[in-house]
Homo-oligomer: A and B are copies of this chain.
């Protein structure tokens, strides 16, 4: 993801107040003094590489993580070697919220490409949030948003056809890139077809076929990991279950 531009790892040790993600991340809506307090508890680690883990299922929970550059996938491994991909996380997105309950990670988080990540020790964050009501409020909002987001995916997996799922996935990426001032219509996928399929509850082959089909229909141009969305409106129509040779969604 991102990818097209070389990320300079010289300047990642910026403070929260200078961070370009300030409007997406925890500091949103905090006043400068409070951002500074938050900044003091945030750790900024050296860059991570493809395949590195932020944490694994079962690890003791210490910190939340925020993607600063690059991308991370979270997944629930199962005994037999399989996994369920739970999400792909872009810059500004928080990881590890499901671990607060038991103080133990409920899923694993693996870096998909060279990435930078901020680490926020939860005990400190929690304490700070009880002193700074606007931070507490922001925390509640972020947790709530995650729930809403999971519910959206639930609807996707429960009711939608394969093509609706892939269209929704691409539009979701597109909108998230846009908010980060990346191109909404021209981007690189940092995850494999396999991972996309797993996330969407589809077989790899189905994902591959759909990419070809979407391309044949002029909806997008795909070359390996490079995606160019050519007709976002039509992709949005597909998500609604409209058109596609006139059939309308039945209600269940």
A76 vs B107: C-alpha distance when bound (angstroms): 26
Residue A151 interfacial (CB < 8 Å): yes
Given known contacts A80-B248, A251-B82, A252-B83, is B140 in contact with A100 (CB within 8 Å)?
Answer: yes
Chain A 82-113 interface 0/1 with B at a Cβ cutoff of 8 Å (1 = within) = 11101000000000011111000011000000
Instruction: Using CB atoms, name the residue of chain B closest to A107.
Output: B151
| Number of identical protomers | 2
Instruction: Using CB atoms, name the residue of chain B closest to A200.
Output: B158
Q: Which of A33-65 contact B (CB under 8 A)?
A: none
In the bound complex, residues from chain B placing their C-beta under 8 Å from that of A147 are 97-98, 143, 146-147, 150
Chain A contact-residue range equals 35 or more
Residue A141 interfacial (CB < 8 Å): yes
A86 touches B144 (CB 8 A): no
Instruction: Using CB atoms, name the residue of chain B closest to A86.
Output: B151
Residue A3 interfacial (CB < 8 Å): no
A151 touches B252 (CB 8 A): no
In the bound complex, residues from chain B placing their C-beta under 8 Å from that of A153 are 154
Give chain B nearest CB distance to A227 CB in angstroms: 22
B155 touches A84 (CB 8 A): yes
Residue A159 interfacial (CB < 8 Å): yes
B159 touches A201 (CB 8 A): yes
Residue A12 interfacial (CB < 8 Å): no
Stretch with Cβ within 8 A of B (4 or more), from A13-21, A125-133, A208-216: A125-133
In the bound complex, residues from chain B placing their C-beta under 8 Å from that of A236 are none
Q: Which residue in B86, B139, B203, B249 is a CB contact (below 8 Å) of A154?
A: B86
Q: Which of A84, A141, A197 has the most CB of B within 10 A?
A: A84
Residue A81 interfacial (CB < 8 Å): yes
B98 touches A157 (CB 8 A): no
Residue A148 interfacial (CB < 8 Å): yes
What are 19 pairs between A and B in contact, CB < 8 Å? A76-B155, A80-B249, A82-B249, A84-B155, A84-B158, A86-B154, A97-B144, A98-B148, A101-B142, A106-B151, A107-B151, A126-B133, A130-B130, A147-B150, A150-B154, A153-B154, A194-B252, A198-B252, A203-B252
A-side residues, CB < 8 A to B, are 76, 78, 80-84, 86, 97-101, 106-107, 126-127, 129-130, 133, 136-137, 139-148, 150-151, 153-155, 157-159, 194, 197-201, 203, 241, 248-252
